[in-house]
Chains A and B, each alone.
Chain A
Amino acid sequence: MLSMQNVSRIYRTETIQTHALNDFSLSVNAGEFVAVTGPSGSGKSTFLNIAGLLDQFDEGEYSIDGVSVKGLSDNQLSRLRNEKIGFIFQNYNLIPDYSLFDNVDMPLRYRGFNGKERKRRIEEALEKVGLASRMNYLPSQLSGGQQQRVAIARALAGEPKLLLADEPTGNLDSLMARQVMELLHDLNKDGATIIMVTHDPDQARSVPRNVQIIDGQMTDHRVYQPQSVSASVESEAELA
C-alpha cells in the first residue's frame, strides 16, 4: 500500500538545518492500522505530510499503491491525494460557513463526480459517522467530537485506500476521543488502511502496529495483539 525507502526531509532556515526526517523507511500493507508516536518535534507530522503528498521530501523513494510519487506533477499528485488518500486533521479544518453536506462535498467536487453520485456518497459517509440527520447544520452547531466525525466523513466520502490522521483526538475530551477511536477501528475492520499520529499511549496500544519516531528516525517498531488490551499493558511494562 505504502512504501518509504530512506526518505529524508530537511528544513533549511537562514541559521539552521533541521533533519525533520532522517533516512526513514517504512512499509504499510493494505488493511493495516498503524499508530505513530514520538515526542513533540520528532518528525511525526512531517512523515504524515509526506505520506499524504502534502509535502515534498529531499531524498529517498516513496510509492503509494504501487505508484512512485517522485517527479509527479502537481496535477497528478492532487489526483492521487483526491482519490487514494483521506486526511484527518487535529483541528478538523472544516469550513465554518459551509454546511456539513457542503464540507463533505468539497473533495468530491474536485474528483468530478456528478450530482447524484456525490449525494449518495455524502449521505453514506455522514451515515457512517452517525451525523446523517444533521446534514444541513453548520460546524459551529456541533461539538468538537462531532466536528471531527464530519472531518472523518469528508475523508471517507472519496472512498480512499489510505486514511491519514494527525492527532485526530488531540483537541477532544476523553469521551469524544473514545468515540472517534471506535469509529476508526470500525473503519479499519471494514478494510481501510489507517495511519494515525497520536500522543496517547493507551490509544497507541489499542492499535495493532506501533511506530515510534525520535529525531526523524524510527526508534521502535512493534506489533500488538489487536484484541487484547491487557497484553499491550504488559508489553508497556516490559519496555519500562
Chain B
Amino acid sequence: MWHYYLMLSLRSLKRSPTLYSMVILTLAIGVGALASNMALYQSMAADPIPEKSDRLFHVSLNSWPDEDSPHQQPLFVTRYRDAQQVLSSGIPTKVVAHYQTRVYTKSLDAKSLTRFAADTRATTPDFFALTNAPFAYGRSLSSAEGNEVVLGSDLNDKIFGGSNSVGKAVEIEGKPYTVVGVLKPWTLRPRFYHMEQDSAFRPTDDLFVPLETAIDNNWGVNGRSSSVDYSGDMASSRPHNRFYLSLWAQLDSAAQQDSFQQYLDNYSQQLKDAGEHPLAINNELKNVHEWADKLKVVDQRLLAFSIATMLFLIVCVFNASSLLLAKYHDDKSEMGLRRALGASRNQLFRQGFVEAMLVGSIAGSLALLLSWLFLACSVVLLPNLKAIAQLEPAVLGQGFAIALLTALLSTGYPLWRANRASISAEMK
C-alpha cells in the first residue's frame, strides 16, 4: 500500500509542478538557513571533552586586594602565590595553573636563523592528563621546572618534519630545551582550557613549557594580566599582586568538590582576616559547560541571527501551508471519490503523510545543499567563524529531519481540512 501512496504522491507532484516546486523551494530555503545556523551554533556549543566536562572546573578566586575595584565578580585569573596554594591543596584529582605566551623557536641543530612562532602554554605538568591531550610520541612534562618541552603536532611538522623528535632539542632565545613529548593533531572546539577574551576557537597550543621556566625566562603573558601595584618583569612578579594564571581542577565526586570549595573559601577567609583583601568571600568553581556559558562562548550575534532564521522558517512553513491549502482544496473532490469507493480517512491521511514525506525529503536534500551555501556565505561575511563552520553529519541529519517536520506541518491543516469534508457533498 505504501508503494501505491508513493506512486500517487509522485503523480500529485507531476500534476502541479509549479505549486510543488514553490513549496519545496521555500521549505528548502527556510530549512537550509536554519541548518547552517544550527551547524555554527552546535559547533560553538559543542562539548570539547564529553568524557569529563562535568568534572573539570575552572577556579576563580576573589583575592583582589583593592576595595575600589570594578571587580565585584572574581577575576578569571589568579596570582602566582594563590595558584601555588591551590596547587598544593592535595584535594583535586588533578590541578593545573597555566598561562599563554609566545616564543620563537627552531631546532637546536638548524643552520637557518628562521624561527617559528609558537603559541606557547606555560603550565604545570598535570595539564596533559587533565585535558586528555593526545600524545603521538613521548610523555608529558615531568615537573613545572626544567628545560623540557612538549611539541604540538603542527610545530613538530615545521621543525622536525613530523618525525618522532623525542630526545631532540629546540632553541628558544639562545637556550636549548629537550623535547620529551609530541602531541597528535589536537582540535578542541571550544578550546575549553582557554576560552577567555574571545579565544575559544583558537587552535590548541604549538608548544608546552614548564610554568616556572617560562616565568624565569620572563616570557610575557599573551592574555589577561592585571596588576594592582606592580609593573616589573615576570621573573620577579611571583610575590606581587599580578593576576595572570588560569586554574583548572579535576574534581571527580561531589564530596571532592565540596571539600575543595571549602578549602578555597578557608584560604580566602585567611587572606581576608590578615587584611590582604576587603572583598566578600566569592570563589567560583565552574565546570566546562558553566564556564562556557559564563564567558558567552556562543556568539551573541549568532544567537540574534538564530532568532531571525527561525522566524524565517516559520514564514516559509506558512507559505508552503498556504500553497498546499490551495492544492488540497482542488483535490477535495478526488478525495471524496476515493472515500466513496472505500478508502478510509486513515488511508487518505497516510497518503497525505507519504506525500509530505516525499516533499520533505526533496526539500531536505535541497536544504542540505543550501545550508552548505549559506555556511560559505556566513564565513565570507564573518571570517571568525571559519574555524567552526563545519557541517557535521548530526547537523545534516537534524536538518533533514526538520525538513520532514516542516513538510508535515505545512501539510497538516490543509490535509485535515480536505479530509473533513463530507463525501456526499463532494460527490454532487
Which residues from chain A sit less than 8 Å from chain B, CB to CB? 45-46, 49, 52, 54-55, 74-75, 77-79, 81-83, 85, 87, 89, 93, 95, 97, 106-107, 109-112, 154, 158
B427–A107 CB distance below 8 A:
no
CB distance from A4 to the nearest CB of B (A): 16
User: CA of A93 to CA of B428 in the docked complex: distance in angstroms?
Assistant: 10
Please, how many angstroms separate the alpha-carbon atoms of A158 and B343 in the complex?
13
Interface SS of chain B: helix
Total interface residues on B, CB under 8 Å, equals: 22
Which of B342, B427, B428 lies in contact with A78, CB distance below 8 A?
Answer: B342
B254 beta carbon closer than 8 Å to chain A: no
Please give me the residue from chain A that is nearest to B425 by CB atom: A55
Contact in complex: B423, A55 (CB < 8 Å): yes
Contact yes or no, B15 A78, CB < 8 A? no
The verdict on A158 contacting B342 (CB below 8 Å), with A93-B427, A95-B334, A109-B4 known, is yes
Query: Could you tell me if A107 and B422 are in contact, using CB atoms closer than 8 angstroms?
Result: no
Q: B347 contacts A78, CB within 8 Å? A: yes
From B15, B340, B344, B427, contact of A97 by CB (8 A): B15
Within the complex, the shortest CB–CB distance from A109 to chain B, in Å, comes to 5
B15 to chain A minimum Cβ distance, whole angstroms, is 7
Are the CB atoms of B347 and A81 closer together than 8 Å?
no
Docked Cα-Cα span, A154 to B11, in Å, equals: 20
Please tell me if the beta carbons of A74 and B422 are within 8 angstroms of each other in the complex: no
Q: Are A75 and B340 in contact (CB under 8 A)?
A: no
Which residue in chain A gives the minimum CB-CB distance to B334? A95
B346 touching A74 by the CB < 8 A rule?
yes
Cα–Cα distance between A237 and B131 once the two chains are bound (Å):
107
| B345 CB within 8 Å of chain A | yes
Residues in chain A near residue B202, CB distance under 8 A: none
> When chains A and B are docked, how far (Å) is the Cα of A179 from the Cα of B255?
94
Chain A residues with Cβ under 8 A from B334's Cβ? Answer: 95
Minimum CB–CB distance for A140 against chain B, Å = 15
A45, A81, A154 interface centre (most CB from chain B within 10 Å): A81
Kindly name the residue among A78, A107, A112, A154 whose own CB sees the greatest number of chain B CB atoms within 10 A.
A78
Chain A residues, Cβ within 8 Å of B341: 81-82, 87, 106-107, 110, 154
**Smallest CB–CB gap between B27 and chain A, Å?**
25
Which of A45, A49, A55, A81 contacts B342 (CB under 8 A)?
A81
Alpha-carbon distance A107/B423, docked complex (angstroms): 15
Asked whether B422 lies within 8 Å of A55 as measured between CB atoms, the reply is yes
Distance (Å) between the CB of A92 and the closest chain B CB?
A: 10
CB contacts (< 8 Å) of A93 on chain B: these are 333, 337, 340, 427
Other A-B pairs, 13, CB within 8 Å; known A55-B422, A110-B338: A52-B340, A54-B423, A74-B346, A75-B344, A78-B339, A78-B342, A81-B341, A81-B342, A85-B342, A87-B340, A93-B337, A107-B342, A109-B1
